[in-house]
Chains A and B, each alone.
Chain A
Amino acid sequence: MDRIGLIALREIRQRTASRGFRLATAITMLAALAYVILPHALASRSTVKVVATAKAPTELQRGAIATAAETLGLRVEFRNFAGLAAAKAAVLSGAAIFAYDPAKGFFVKRVAAQDQATLFAQRAAQQLGAARSLEAAGLSASQLELITHPKAPPVVGLTPTGKASSRNTKAAAIAAVLMYILLSQYGAWVMLGVVEEKSSRVVEVLLSTVTPRQLLVGKITGIGAVALIHAAALVVAMTAGLLAIGSSPSAILSGGLLWLAPLWFILGYAFYCTLFAAVGSMVSRTEDAQAASFPVTLPMLAGYIVALFGLGGTFPDTLLKGLALVPGLSPFLIPAMYAIGRVSATEAAISALLSLAATYFLALAAARIYRASILRTGSRVSWREAASGALRSRRLPAESEA
């Protein structure tokens, strides 16, 4: 194994063995799971209503009540009780939204104008009355079905809206949030890893045998691999959650997110990691790292916020597309925009190429800063000093044969 591989492997081993990594991965997996399951569970609880029946309802009665429920965005569950008194008791205790007795009608806890139970019961009564009338008129079951559930003509939009759907919007938001969490966390890991090596002075021992470029690339590769492991764990957690609620994982990852999100995570990591490493090389103490990293975290935060507001339609399309081409912002914007159909494959590809080109030049500059600053001790190296050090720095003799 070459030196870069050894350095990367050490990073992977050390990071994955740490309690902090395991805890953070477990917590974020639980959060991802909760993000998928909780809304479903809460929505189910709030939309499923129990109707207490004093006697098993007929198909007609069930259909009428279910249709009324649909008009209010509810779903209904029938529960049969031993007589009307028991059914009424269930309503009074809050276990059922209303009680129904085919012979005596609908019973709600209290009749009120804006009350959901009252509205539901009234609509069910109207629906049932209409169904009974149609049945009395001698219509067949299929005719009744046609009347209660008519085939409506399609409504077609004249301008393309892509594949946008509420589900895709949700997936796009998840992509933006995860991108921000993972890039912030692993960017910080790169930075702190560099600071640790610098503050413990082990870097001097390492640089007597490896070049700064090998050390930098090895570290970034190792921590990047750990980040991908973490991202994969989150995808596993979300997939498990989706399967648990009976939803198809491919549905939420539609719109190209399945391959686009990991790809843009790699592009985003490549863009930011060398910058974080350069910041790490400029400070000697962990306490100074956060303040020094502000210029790097700022575009990340901007990209994240623009992505979230962009999904909500706050920005004009042209502006959003323009911002999506800006390297540094694009990792947050492109996957989200692509998921909701606001950016084409060509535009995404152009943005990716721009990001790669910017990454290349940034990595060259950051590597020079890293090389010029990593062995400097004492007070924090300012950006101006780092830049002038990088410009002055020439290839070290020991690097020439690397």
Chain B
Amino acid sequence: MSDVRSAQGGRDTLIRYIRDAGGVGLLALAIFVPFIGLRLHGETNGLVLHYRPKLLVIGVVLAMLARLLVLIWQERRVHQGRAAWRAARVASAGKYVAPALLASAALLPLVPGIANFYIDLGVLVMTYVMLGWGLNIVVGLAGLLDLGYVAFYAVGAYSFALLAHYFHLSFWECLPLSGIFAAIWGMCLGFPVLRLRGDYLAIVTLAFGEIIRLVITNWISLTGGPNGIYNIPHPTFFGLNFNLGGGPGTFSGFFGIDPDPKQLTTYLYYIIFFLALLTNWVTLRLRRLPMGRAWEALREDEIACRSLGINVRNTKLTAFAIGAMFGGFAGCFFATRQNFISPDSFTFIESATVLAIVVLGGAGSQLGVALAAVVMIGIPALLQDLSIYRMLFFGLALVIMMVVRPRGFVSTRTPSIALGKRQQISSELMSEGHG
């Protein structure tokens, strides 16, 4: 800073920063004294209070430093033409990120020497990607807040489990059936909630998810209740199974290779990979068709939809049904992967996780949802060793998200038609435009 005025301005800024950081430090002190400064120790003669002043000081200083960094970063951000610059950056990043993710997902199980654990984790993440994409149809495109999505996951899983248990049907026979059953249940949910919106819709869908779980838990004669259903068959590869014993009729026996649990995991991985891609492909196609466009219009303004001649009832029902169908496919896959299902797998926390993935990813964005599923499911599983700090990371991630990307990872939407140049629409400008 060479001239006097900018030096003056710099000093003002510095003072403002220090004052701000000081405030944060005081706040941190108030919070950290009981949490870090004091510690109870159980000793022979009862509880003893220990003081940890050094740790307290370190904590407060760290908080102040973090605040300073945030301030400096915000200052920098103001100087760049924010929204436009970011939209452009997201657009250019999206061009490479999506194919790169797709390629790495396709090649993951083929990495030589990769442990079975990672492929299995990939299966788990991919299941949530698919669930996220499925729920994205309902929440992201049609704008219907659904807190009971796990119900359709459960319907799909139990459809397959029960059909396999009582009628000995295979995975491939049950997969479409699971989707159809889930779609029918989606419509069953859709009808009563046609007139509801927002909070009220959320409450009813939440209850629906619980009802399905409770029915499964209590209908012991059919579903085995809390004991669940065992021995659900794994999928077969054109009639070949994946028994580790080898021999004729097994995958390893037919191809003359050593049996390995990785073969089954890899096979499962590719099944869910293609199911997820199918979900994505169908969603992208539907967005360009009148039905999908009607979903998006419904999200924007229901009254306008009605006065333009859109049948709102059918639009909502198709959104529920198609979203539910993909949930059903995922459920069917879940059952075949686990071999065993019980109502414990279909609690509200599952719905909340999938919804969090959709919201975190940026409702309506396919790429964002996939990224969010990796972050929400993959990273916690990798950090299993640090599991006591998991909630800490989660909280930190939430705070950072709220500051940096309050509308989700990918908060832009590409118009589904464009006469001229295709362009991204940044939703940072979204809520402002009403005048």
| Chain B binds chain A | no
- Which A residues lie at the B interface, using CB under 8 A? none
- Which B residues lie at the A interface, using CB under 8 A? none
